[in-house]
Amino acid sequence: MPVLVVFGSPVSPFVRKVEAVLRHSGQAYDFESINIMDMPDWFLEISPLRRIPVLRDKSIGETGIAGTLADSSAICLYLDRKYDAGLYGATAFDAGQAAWLEEYADSDLAMTVGMKVFRPIMFPRFAGQASDIETARKAWHEKLPRNFDYLERLLDGKDFFVNDTYSIADIAIGCQLTQLDLVVGLPDRQIWPGLAAHTENMKARPGFTENLAICGKMLGGLLPEKIDLS
């Protein structure tokens, strides 16, 4: 039986990030779905910020707070150290750059992708209502190009962001851009070719492939086609 348990929803890009690290590390794990709209009391005990995912390592604690980590970045760092996954680079500067890009993806990029595009499109549909397309279109044209420009410059023709080696930076950025791809597609290949190719690369990686297949099944009935924001 796996000693690791991931609590969350497959549709969360932060859950996807943890699953990608686990699959990259070759670790078996159990998954327990959490209703983010109505979190049970026992889950709030181990997730004081009311966020997903939470990881439990049952070799440390099987109940309560013991053995739990309640933030995707903390979880990924723990898994990297525990299983020597090599996702934070070979040098001190690599580690710093990887950590910075993980933070950039999880904060600035995630805020626009999640709050300004994904949620306005999908959350009304969960309630049987029409998507807020105008909010998503405004973010697509006015906010995301700045993020895309920055990331395209960092790639500069490379396959990966940090020392051209697969790292937590690629995973974190890929998780946000695959979230975008679920509802509206990839960055324009004519303008941001490296970033579009990078996202396609991430979609084929362990953890991404399995997670995105589940997301496609969960969202397919609500969003049979990607929305054109042009």
Between 92-104 and 168-183, two packed helices, what is the crossing angle to 10 degrees? 20
For the chain, domains (ranges, CATH) are 4-83 (3.40.30.10), 92-220 (1.20.1050.10)
Which of 138, 136, 148 lies closest to 190, judged by CA?
148
Instruction: Report, as an integer, the average pLDDT of 128-153.
Output: 97
pLDDT tens digits, residue range 164-198? 999 999 999 999 999 999 999 999 999 999 999 99
pLDDT at 11 over 90: yes
Alpha-carbon radius of gyration of the chain: 17
pLDDT tens digits, residue range 56-65? 999 999 999 9
pLDDT tens digits, residue range 111-136? 999 999 999 999 999 999 999 999 99
Amino acid at 229: L
pLDDT at 224 over 90: no
Instruction: Report, as an integer, the average pLDDT of 24-28.
Output: 97
* pTM of the predicted structure, to 2 decimals: 0.97
